[in-house]
Amino acid sequence: MTTLRTFQNEIDEHSREIAKQRAIQAQIVAEKEKENKKPPASKGKSKDEGPDSPIAATALSDSDAATALAETEEKILTALLSDLPANRDIARDLLAGLLTQHSGEYVFRIGLRPPHAKLWAGELTDDCEGWTGVSRTEQELDVIHKGIQATVEEVGGKTSVLFQTRIGHARLSLLLRLPPPNVSLTPEVRCAVVGNVDSGKSTTLGVLTRGALDDGRGRARVGLFRHKHEIETGRTSSVGMEILGFSPNGAPILPNTANSTDPDVIRREKLGWEEISIQAAKIVSFIDLAGHERYLKTTLYGLTSGAPSCVILMVGANAGLIGMSKEHLAIALALSVPVVVCITKIDMTPPNVLAETIKQVTKILKSPGCRKTPVFVKSLETAVEISTAFGKDRLCPIFQVSNVTGEGLDFVRTFLNLLPSSEADQEKFAVNQPLEAVLSDRGLVCPLRGNCNKWRVFFGSRCAHLSKVPVGIINNGSIKTGDAVLLGPDSNGNYQSTVVKSMQRKRANVTTAEAGQCVSLALKRVRKAAVRKGMVLVHKTDNPPKAVRQFEGQVLILYHNTTLQKNYQAMLHCGAVRQTVRIIGMDAQCLRTGDRATVQFEFISHPEFIKEGMKLLFREGKTKGLGVITRLIPPS
């Protein structure tokens, strides 16, 4: 039998190889276009080809890049500690370069840096080995802090203190952030929130996004529900979307009624997405998924189509990791999405029950199926240090929070504020490739927006003129208003020509959007009945991408209670595609739990747009399988 971890590593390697080949092809096409244009040859190197340029930085290995950053930081500190005006100009230029190379956001650490292994284990002391960097006195910390603050303000940025201590090894962590020029360039982090029923998902999101603490009876979650039956039962049944904005100085953007105790005020008086987007220097989008077993299909679709940067698994301290929580954790691991655990309701849970829940969560995360290193975040320093490291080092941050007392929520906000943006993942999203935007939802829009001002994308307020508009994530390339595009495939595999009339990002008007961003589009001459989930938008061309009915993939059967044979049917989830497939062939007579095989699938209803290297999940009842598409079978 093939272990899940080995199979996932093979899938990731296959996907990386496919992405590398596409990048090489895109580079060849770009070089040919440059040759055709034949620009005049310039003497010497351009400013983008020097050793300190972003292009050169991307070519460095991780260790070399870290060394280069350390040298740059040391130059800045040396210049700031000097009284010479010329050195201040050098520090300003270096800081501006750091912010530019890191998309307008950088965490500057001053003083000795703690060893991560000791910090993760909660055993950090001044005497332990592994401290790195240069020791600074308290006076030097103050001088450097004031110098960085003044220098960053000169280039139009803001500085905020993330963590500081003057006890033992004095050290300081600063957040340097440039406000984005417009909404289209605001970095976004997408987080999928999952967990069992009554684990506190909607309540936690309500507290984080609205600011008001809960009363212990679910008051904070009222503003998140979209349907009447959700309010009556207290259970989420659909894919909800909430956003939390952070200002340039790192503070969360909350409504003025954050301290209100009136449920009607909390539900009614909230900041609109467009208000948050205009003020925010970073946006965290929460995909609030259902926890009940009957809504597993909806939850699974939200995880596969939303392209989340991380999965936040909510665990009730009083109940532990039970029911659908284990199912959601298994799906996140199968999709190779980093996991963050949030243990809620610690205010109402007896200490012995809480200790048992922590023991259970730790045991499951360390098990061979997960192979995660649990890190309990109990300080701001831990939250700052783990925010960028957990995805690479197989770390799993664990927060213990109370939505009634507010304990632990500051650590969660600090962690979310520093998460790398989703569009920064160049392995998933490539700007230099042809346009490919996958429609993951059909949002709500008022066609008379000029008169009634009720443009409401996703889950906004209703009005008398409401209709549908496609909403999707741009996987590759870029798009702007006025572009001629193709929408498809339809039930026959054909594409319809249309034009992008306008675009919105988080309900704020934008004119351009790039790979990794989630946008809503108003398309010309497109009937709402012609739009369905799983369609794609590509630039208008004579050779649009082909839709297929049959494809081949390498699969691993995670669970099946008997034997799986030819003609077996299951629900397939592959990105935003969700459709029933039939097995039309395999390289084995039958498959059981733990077996691996090459399987040929066929869509039952209509052809879909899929690509080699895409991950797939299929399920039917308790049957679950994981795989990767290895070959598209053209129609005979």
Q: What is the pLDDT of residue 225?
A: 54
Q: Bridge-partner residues for 574, per DSSP?
A: 577
The total of other beta-carbon atoms located within 10 Å of residue 281's CB is 22
Task: Please tell me what DSSP assigns to residue 365.
Answer: H
The C-alpha torsion from 34 through 35 and 39 to 44, rounded to 10°, is 90
CATH of the domain at 626: 2.40.30.10
The backbone region for 111, taken as left when phi is positive above 0, alpha when psi lies in -120 to 50, beta otherwise, is left
Q: Bridge-partner residues for 283, per DSSP?
A: 188, 245
Radius of gyration in angstroms for the set of CA atoms belonging to the chain, rounded to a whole number:
25
d(CA 631, CA 629): 6
Asked if 279 contacts 245 with a C-beta cutoff of 8 angstroms, the reply is: yes
Domain closes at, from 388, 403, 424 = 424
Residue 439 parent element (H or E): strand 436-445
Q: Domain total for the chain? A: 4
d(CA 48, CA 270): 44
For residue 172, being part of any structural domain is answered with: yes
Residue with tokens 């190197």: 45
Q: Give the contacts of 317 (CB within 8 A, at least 6 positions apart).
A: 343, 344, 345, 346, 348, 349, 353, 354, 357, 400
Q: Bridge-partner residues for 577, per DSSP?
A: 574
d(CA 38, CA 32): 10
For residue 28, being part of any structural domain is answered with: no
Q: Bridge-partner residues for 619, per DSSP?
A: 571, 624
For residue 226, being part of any structural domain is answered with: yes
What are 112's two structure tokens?
């000795």
Query: What is the extent of the structural domain holding 157?
Result: 52-177
The total of other beta-carbon atoms located within 10 Å of residue 128's CB is 13
* Amino acid in position 421: S
Q: Give the contacts of 426 (CB within 8 A, at least 6 positions apart).
A: none
Q: What is the pLDDT of residue 109?
A: 93
Residue with tokens 């244009």: 37
d(CA 113, CA 133): 6
For residue 21, being part of any structural domain is answered with: no
The 3-state DSSP class for residue 265 equals helix
530 and 483, same domain (yes or no): yes
Q: Positive or negative, the Cα torsion across 198, 200, 206, 211? A: positive
Residue with tokens 């909350």: 254
Domain closes at, from 125, 160, 177 = 177
Domain closes at, from 510, 539, 568 = 539
Q: What is the pLDDT of residue 466?
A: 39
Nearest CA-CA partner of 353 in 340, 197, 122, 361 = 361
The backbone region for 186, taken as left when phi is positive above 0, alpha when psi lies in -120 to 50, beta otherwise, is beta
For residue 14, being part of any structural domain is answered with: no
248 and 325, same domain (yes or no): yes
H-state helical runs in 122-248: 138-154, 201-210, 228-233
310 and 228, same domain (yes or no): yes
d(CA 1, CA 190): 35
What are 140's two structure tokens?
């030097």
d(CA 412, CA 312): 11
For residue 221, being part of any structural domain is answered with: yes
Q: From the first residue on, what is the mean pLDDT of each consecutive set of 10 residues in the chain (636 residues)?
A: 66 71 66 57 39 40 76 90 84 91 92 92 89 91 93 93 92 94 90 89 87 76 56 51 90 76 61 85 89 77 87 94 87 89 95 96 91 93 90 88 94 95 83 89 54 37 45 90 93 92 86 91 83 91 91 92 92 93 93 93 95 91 90 87
CATH of the domain at 345: 3.40.50.300
597 and 532, same domain (yes or no): no
Task: Please tell me what DSSP assigns to residue 292.
Answer: S
- Give the distance from CA 565 to its chain's centroid: 37
135 and 278, same domain (yes or no): no
For residue 32, being part of any structural domain is answered with: no
Q: What is the pLDDT of residue 270?
A: 67
What are 126's two structure tokens?
């001044």
304 and 322, same domain (yes or no): yes
306 and 220, same domain (yes or no): yes
Residue 76 parent element (H or E): helix 62-80
Task: Please tell me what DSSP assigns to residue 326.
Answer: H
Q: What is the pLDDT of residue 428?
A: 83
- Calculate helix-pair angle for 324-334, 4-37, nearest 10 degrees: 40
d(CA 493, CA 487): 11
Residue with tokens 């003020």: 279
513 and 583, same domain (yes or no): no
Asked if 57 contacts 65 with a C-beta cutoff of 8 angstroms, the reply is: yes
118 and 63, same domain (yes or no): yes
241 and 118, same domain (yes or no): no
Q: What is the pLDDT of residue 160?
A: 95
95 and 191, same domain (yes or no): no
For residue 502, being part of any structural domain is answered with: yes
316 and 383, same domain (yes or no): yes
Q: What is the pLDDT of residue 463?
A: 41
Backbone angles phi, psi at 295, to 5 degrees: -105, 20
Burial code of 208-224, b = ≥16 C-beta within 10 A, e = fewer?
bbbbbbbeeebbbbbbb
Burial code of 338-375, b = ≥16 C-beta within 10 A, e = fewer?
bbbbbbbbbeebeeeebeebbeebbebbeeeebebebb
